[in-house]
Amino acid sequence: MKCPFCGEEMESGMIITMRDIGFAWIPEGKKLPLVPLVGLKKMGGMLLGESTGFTRAKLDFNICKKCNKGISSL
């Protein structure tokens, strides 16, 4: 998928809640890291949002790191 703003190829991944930390964007094929913030940075992920409580949901989501924008593929 191309970024509609700059035309760069977007990175595929998903958004998953990280309990009391916030939402994590995780590159496609990766799993939630055992050490949340350090592991997320190492795998090229991003931390988004704020605390959501104790349940976890996920959402497929492509990002363009150049524009700092993302698109959900619902």
Segment contacting Zn ion (CB under 5 A): 1-9, 18-26, 38-46, 54-62? Answer: 1-9
Q: Which of residues 1, 6, 38, 59 is near Zn ion by CB under 5 A?
A: 6
Distances (CA, A) of 8 to 17, 19, 36, 43, 57: 27, 32, 28, 20, 28
Q: Which of residues 44, 67, 72, 73 is near Zn ion by CB under 5 A?
A: 67
Q: 9 - beta bridge partners?
A: 2
**What's the one-letter identity of residue 42?**
K
Of residues 7-66, those binding Zn ion (CB under 5 A): 8, 64, 66
Interaction between residue 1 and Zn ion (CB under 5 A): no
Instruction: Enter the tokens of residue 6.
Output: 């700059």
